[in-house]
């Protein structure tokens, strides 16, 4: 009887402590919404940017170089990759690599470690399709899964040991918001959304593993609305609620992503409100969730 009473008291105290800590975490999160943490310096870091040949990946590589980071621009297309290096002001080097090929990934990371230094930042930017790609090209199931998921494992196996040796590092994973709420077309739902949900699971599992091992390596999962575009293709897309979704040039999206990374955010979205929308969709009853999705509809009607 006394043992059961003792256990009940301990459980009650644990629950009270947990509730207090949860409320403190919520209050701190609200406070950080209005007063974000200071931007950390990344000067002197060595970063690998996957998908640096175009779009947001290119702008991230260029802006990292401006911040004093030694940037390894990695892309399958050598011409696009070299064009990024030519635009970068600072230390940047082009590396041609198919990230779905494990051997090429290992060789590329080894070359970066030798030529630029031990990798301390990894930014995977090639899993989010552009609106032009979604409009013109059918989604290939195998290549989509390989790029969005398998490539993360090859890269992680190559860079994580070095980060653990240095006792620092930052792994940044870009994911489409399809991983928060799904898509609209059949191909998008079945292929892209599946891949993006898997990317989200990968980032969360990796964060949990590193947290439990008391690692100093940071993980940032960034949900990117795929229709962040430049003005040159804006005319091709019609939004159901333009003022809600809007458009954003790649350089502005890259700046917001790097700001979140430099503030050590574990998870955020670009635009920022979409992360909260995704959370709301998950806690609503399914029928209500479908109603809200039908109204907002990421579904964009291609002209």
**pLDDT tens across the length of the chain (303 residues):** 777 888 888 888 989 999 999 999 888 878 877 888 889 999 999 999 999 988 889 999 999 999 999 999 999 999 999 999 999 988 999 999 999 899 999 999 999 999 999 999 999 987 655 544 444 455 577 777 888 888 999 999 999 999 999 999 999 999 876 555 544 444 455 677 778 888 888 998 998 888 888 788 999 999 887 655 544 444 444 555 554 555 678 888 899 999 999 999 998 988 777 777 777 777 777 777 677 666 655 444 332
Residue 188 lies in a domain: yes
- 134: how many CB neighbours lie within 10 A of its CB? 21
- Give pLDDT, residue 1: 73
Domain membership of residue 158 (yes or no) is: yes
Whole-prediction pTM value? 0.81
Q: Looking at residue 178, what is its pLDDT?
A: 57
Number of domains in the chain: 1
Helices (H) and strands (E) in the chain, counts: 15, 9
Q: Please indicate, yes or no, if residue 22 is contained in any of the structural domains.
A: no
Residue 182: DSSP 8-state: -
> Is 232 contained in some domain?
yes
Residue 288, both tokens: 């209500």
Q: What is the pLDDT of residue 127?
A: 60
Give the model's pLDDT for residue 136: 47
CA 205 to chain centre: 14
Note the pLDDT of residue 134.
47
Burial of residue 1 (CB within 10 Å: 0-12, 13-18, 19+) is: exposed
Sign of CA dihedral 191, 226, 71, 121: negative
Q: Of the candidates 122, 119, 207, 220, which has an alpha carbon nearest to the alpha carbon of residue 162?
A: 119
Q: On the CB side of 103, how many CA atoms lie within 13 Å of its CA?
A: 0
CATH code: domain of residue 210: 3.40.50.720
Give how far Cα 119 sits from Cα of 13, 36, 48, 71, Å.
44, 27, 7, 10
**Are β-strands 237-238 and 301-302 bridged in parallel, bridged antiparallel, or unpaired?**
antiparallel
In a domain, 288, yes or no: yes
**Is residue 11 one of the residues assigned to a domain?**
no
**Whole-angstrom Cα distance, residue 161 to residue 156?**
9
The boundaries of the domain holding residue 241 are 41-302
Angstrom distances, CA of residue 61 to CA of 41, 48, 69, 160, 170: 16, 9, 9, 20, 15
Is residue 185 domain-resident? yes
6 in a domain, yes or no?
Answer: no
d(CA 15, CA 9): 10
CA distance 14 to 32: 27
* Start-to-end CA span in the chain (Å): 73
Phi, then psi, of 217 in degrees rounded to 5? -85, 125
Q: Are 64 and 122 in contact (CB under 8 A)?
A: no
């Amino acid at each position: 009887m006394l043992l059961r009473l003792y256990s009940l008291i301990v459980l009650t105290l644990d629950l009270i402590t947990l509730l207090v800590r949860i409320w403190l975490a919520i209050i701190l999160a609200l406070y950080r919404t209005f007063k974000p943490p200071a931007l950390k310096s990344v000067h002197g870091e060595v970063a690998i940017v996957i998908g640096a040949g175009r779009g947001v990946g290119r702008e991230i590589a260029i802006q990292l170089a401006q911040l004093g980071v030694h940037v390894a621009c990695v892309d399958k297309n050598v011409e696009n990759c070299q064009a990024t290096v030519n635009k970068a002001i600072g230390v940047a080097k082009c590396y041609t690599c198919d990230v779905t090929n494990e051997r090429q990934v290992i060789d590329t990371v080894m070359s970066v470690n030798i030529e630029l230094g031990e990798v301390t930042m990894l930014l995977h930017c090639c899993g989010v399709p552009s609106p032009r790609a979604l409009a013109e090209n059918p989604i290939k199931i195998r290549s989509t899964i390989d790029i969005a998921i398998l490539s993360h494992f090859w890269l992680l196996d190559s860079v994580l040991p070095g980060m653990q040796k240095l006792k620092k590092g930052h792994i940044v994973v870009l994911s489409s918001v399809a991983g928060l709420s799904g898509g609209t077309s059949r191909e998008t739902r079945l292929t892209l959304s599946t891949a993006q949900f898997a990317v989200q699971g990968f980032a969360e599992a990796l964060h949990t593993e590193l947290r439990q091992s008391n690692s100093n390596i940071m993980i940032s999962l960034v949900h990117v609305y795929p229709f962040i575009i430049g003005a040159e293709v804006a005319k091709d897309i019609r939004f159901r609620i333009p003022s809600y979704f809007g458009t954003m040039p790649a350089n502005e999206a890259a700046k917001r992503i790097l700001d979140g990374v430099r503030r050590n955010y574990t998870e955020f979205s670009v635009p920022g409100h979409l992360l909260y929308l995704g959370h709301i969709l998950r806690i609503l009853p399914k029928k209500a969730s479908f109603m809200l999705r039908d109204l907002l509809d990421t579904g964009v009607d291609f002209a």
